Amino acid sequence: MRQNRQNQTRNLPCQKRSIRHSFCLYTHYLSINIRSAMEYKSSFFLTALGQFLVSFHVFLGILFLFQRFSNVKGFTYSEVLLCYSIVLLEFSLAEMFARGFDQFSEMVRSGSFDRVLVRPRNELLQVLGSKFELTRIGRLLQALAMFFYGILQSHILWTPGKIITVIFMLFGGTCLFSGIFLLYASLCFFTLEGLEFMNIATDGAREYGKYPLSIYGKRMLQFTTFVIPYALVQYYPLLYLLDKRNGVFYVFLPLLSVLFLAPCYLLWRFGVKCYTSSGS
């Protein structure tokens, strides 16, 4: 019997603490989440369909607006679609993988973060692994469809530079949105509940990121360049894609937004240090 139990512990996945094993643990979390989501298949597909429809309706809004207007501040329908689809892709990816942060307030309030802290693993990894919102696949598919439609319509001459720009945009944008989710979670250490106005930075950015940020005026562009760098993953590289600007500089600009993760992570560390359990 005793022998048996020892064997079991040895066979548990992801035993050692290293980056490779952390990754292994992460995929293990992922597979648990997939399996639990698949237990309720009809609910999963209906929710995914719901997600699809939510952003599909926003797309219809753009479609009908552009039947009335030929362009907005020089951006045509297909260019706006391309812009919106990239933002939506970034957002859905971030939401799928960083959803744990979104529900973090619940973890703090119920005190289950205590359990995370006593485990000998990185707490960030555990919170990330606590929830994957796979139903966002619906939104992701919608964004992909729009993305290809936008590409076909906008007659962009694709050069290697532009393809790399799109990849960097997706990477930078996913990091940026994940950073905002992390910020949201970190604030929960101090407020105990999720702050509704943080919606502006997440859902608001997704919703109003459908148009290139310059149309909202100069000040909004400055704010989204220097404070929360949405424009780095949306407006400036888009100009490069559409041949409105030239320069290798624009290709690498989206990567700068990864820097936004640093202050968010520092706030998280600070929050973990200040954490006093609230649960019972």
Which spans of this chain sit near other proteins (rule: CB under 8 A)? 40, 42-51, 53-54, 57-58, 60-61, 64-65, 67-74, 195-197, 199-200, 204, 207-208, 211, 215-217, 220
Tokens of 211: 């148009």
Nearer to other proteins, 124 or 233 (CB): 233
Separation of alpha carbons 157 and 204, rounded Å: 31
- Output the smallest distance, CB 196 to other proteins, in A: 4
Residue 81, amino acid:
L
- Output the smallest distance, CB 271 to other proteins, in A: 19
Separation of alpha carbons 110 and 145, rounded Å: 40
- Output the smallest distance, CB 159 to other proteins, in A: 29
Q: Find out whether 92 and 77 touch, Cβ atoms under 8 Å.
A: no
Strand partners, 75: 72
Q: What is the DSSP string of 223-247?
A: HHHHTS-HHHHTHHHHHHHTTSS--
Separation of alpha carbons 34 and 53, rounded Å: 22
Nearer to other proteins, 166 or 228 (CB): 228
Residue 92, amino acid:
S
Nearer to other proteins, 14 or 58 (CB): 58
Q: Find out whether 55 and 88 touch, Cβ atoms under 8 Å.
A: yes
Nearer to other proteins, 96 or 258 (CB): 96
- Output the smallest distance, CB 23 to other proteins, in A: 31
- Output the smallest distance, CB 273 to other proteins, in A: 26
Nearer to other proteins, 229 or 258 (CB): 229
